[in-house]
Structure 1
Amino acid sequence: MLYAKQTAAAKRAAFRERLASGELLRFPGAFNPLSARLIEQRGFDGVYVSGAVLSADLGLPDIGLTTLTEVAGRTKQIARMTELPTLVDVDTGFGEPMNVARTVQELEDAGAGGIHIEDQVNPKRCGHLDGKEVVDDETAIKRIRAAVDARRDPNLLIMARTDARGVVGLDGAIDRMKALVDAGADAIFPEAMATLDEFAAVRASVDVPILANMTEFGKSELFTVSQLRDVGVNIVIWPVSLLRLAMGAALRGLDGLDTAGSLKGLTGQMQHRADLYELIDYQGYNAFDSGIFNFDVSRPTDG
């Protein structure tokens, strides 16, 4: 009932332990707290909060328009609703190194299990679009050092994302990754890898966990979990997939409503009321109410 039973610190410690085991962890992207609860119910390992999803949810393009306040607020809503760790996209950290430091502490307070900070020039753009620019080595390193120095819980995962593959090629991107690990990054997010061999090359080059981004309609082929596990990937995210599925279903529903004047023919594709009530633990709230209010008020006797 209400929120997660574990504290954020406990979830972070458990996340670190599982990541250290070497197993591959699956993190679908949640577009709201309810979808985070569904991800947990279906047996996944963690929840991802995508900057692209938050931007789209606000009706904005993914070009760095969201604010730290918006990202921290959505993170808190999602992280508190699940027992799973939450990995959060914080773009370029919302400013200079001191802003990055504040970002880390705000996200830590919001309950994040980990964050990733990228090396694009601000304002950034979607990692799977052409025309990206990355900052120089010194600026990228300062962002990661600021993040590592600012965290108060050593179990908060600081992940460095690099978009250098699409700008300077794989070899240059690997050099950037090594520098970011030396700066203190706990994990690496190599964005827009083109092949499994490229993931394997990253794995051979750094000794920290690596993440694969399996976003649809992008630069990377949609590899399977088994394929990624075989080349040494430790975390897989599907950042926008649930939002895309939900919006596709919403579009078909609206078209059906416009055409037929009723959604009767689509009820079989909807989440049933009973399933929704189970997901939000409606019965738990009823039991709580009964325990609190299950008493009689009788008129006091004289004397």
Structure 2
Amino acid sequence: MSVQATLRQLLQRNTVLSAPGIYDGLSARLVELAGFEAAFVSGACVSFARFGRPDMGLVSAAEVSETVAVIRERTAMPLIVDMDTGFGNALNVQRTVRTFERAGASALQMEDQLMPKRCGHMRGKQVISPAEMVGKIHAALDARQHEDTFLIARTDALGVNGFEDAMERAELYLEAGADALFIEAPQTLDQMQAIGARFGKRIPLVHNLVEGGNSPVKCAAEMGELDYRIALFPASLLHLFVPAAQHLLQCLHRDGQVESLRKNMVDLAAINDLLGADELLAAGVRFQPEKR
């Protein structure tokens, strides 16, 4: 069974697929060991964790592709990959699709923001015309090498032009052949209900559950009741990691030690076990020269 086919099979179930955001091999390993069946390679978290920058279109396609390849080497989970705007026009979109597929993407999420994009829950976004986005969707579908690779069309128009424009764009993106729809940052439960009623039986719907964002719902179960199918938790790991790291560093700076925090920490042996050190060592024995 191909990695790409797995995501489609997961969506055959009558449940919401939860996909935590990941950004490197360790986060991918943690998500997989926790029992999740898919993960979201979040462009925001790649920017946060790798470059220490906000989600404002500062990460390149090559940098995301490299991150996907590193993660794919560590896990067979379906990877929903954030491809932002496709990193340019329709021709750029085609190259991005091919590059990300080769790196190991199972699904690609493309949005209709104007470059340089920014986080969907930030002010100051701009969107391209619906016609241009439809062209980019066609370009992406023509470029994909595996027909099982999922294309998620995201519109950020709700926060720019209003709810009706976002709904009209979603209809056009569905007609263009997108495999799933993502109307970013609905502002009320009524809006989410309207989105689910119009599209939920026709195509998988995606929603972002961002701590501090604008979501009217708080959990995957609520999304299921509204006919949404994919729940993205793009930054939850990092949102917990940051205060924990800050607390540790404050203690270290103040006390010159972290012994008081050891009960909340793993040690070297535990992290080696988590990451499969024994399996690697055992595999390496096969290639050692025989003793004579």
Superposition TM-score, scaled by structure 2 size: 0.94
Q: What's 2:119 paired with?
A: 126
Partner-residue secondary structure (3-state), 1:154: coil
Match of 1:181 among 165, 169, 174: 174
Q: What's 1:58 paired with?
A: 51
Report the CA distance between 1:271 and its aligned residue.
Answer: 2.5
Partner-residue secondary structure (3-state), 1:143: helix
Match of 1:85 among 78, 81, 95: 78
Q: Does 1:261 align with 2:256?
A: yes
Structure 1 residue runs of 5 or longer lacking an equivalent are 1-8, 298-303
Aligned 8 A contact 2:189 2:217 in 1: no
Mapped partners of 2:209, 2:242: distance in 1? 18
Partner-residue secondary structure (3-state), 1:80: helix
Report the CA distance between 1:194 and its aligned residue.
Answer: 2.1
Q: What's 1:295 paired with?
A: 290
Mapped partners of 1:222, 1:82: distance in 2? 30
Report the CA distance between 1:294 and its aligned residue.
Answer: 7.3
Q: Number of aligned pairs? A: 289
Mapped partners of 1:22, 1:117: distance in 2? 25
RMSD: 1.5
Q: What's 1:286 paired with?
A: 281
Q: What's 1:106 paired with?
A: 99
Report the CA distance between 1:278 and its aligned residue.
Answer: 2.4
Q: What's 1:4 paired with?
A: none
Report the CA distance between 1:222 and its aligned residue.
Answer: 5.0
Q: Does 1:38 align with 2:33?
A: no
Report the CA distance between 1:145 and its aligned residue.
Answer: 0.9
Mapped partners of 1:150, 1:289: distance in 2? 39
Q: Which has the larger radius of gyration?
A: 1
Q: What's 1:3 paired with?
A: none
Aligned 8 A contact 1:46 1:87 in 2: yes
1:223 partner amino acid: K
Report the CA distance between 1:168 and its aligned residue.
Answer: 2.0
Mapped partners of 1:171, 1:111: distance in 2? 36
Mapped partners of 1:110, 1:249: distance in 2? 32
Mapped partners of 1:221, 1:73: distance in 2? 34
Q: What's 2:65 paired with?
A: 72
Bigger drift between 258-267 and 269-278 goes to 269-278
Q: Does 1:29 align with 2:24?
A: no
1:253 partner amino acid: L
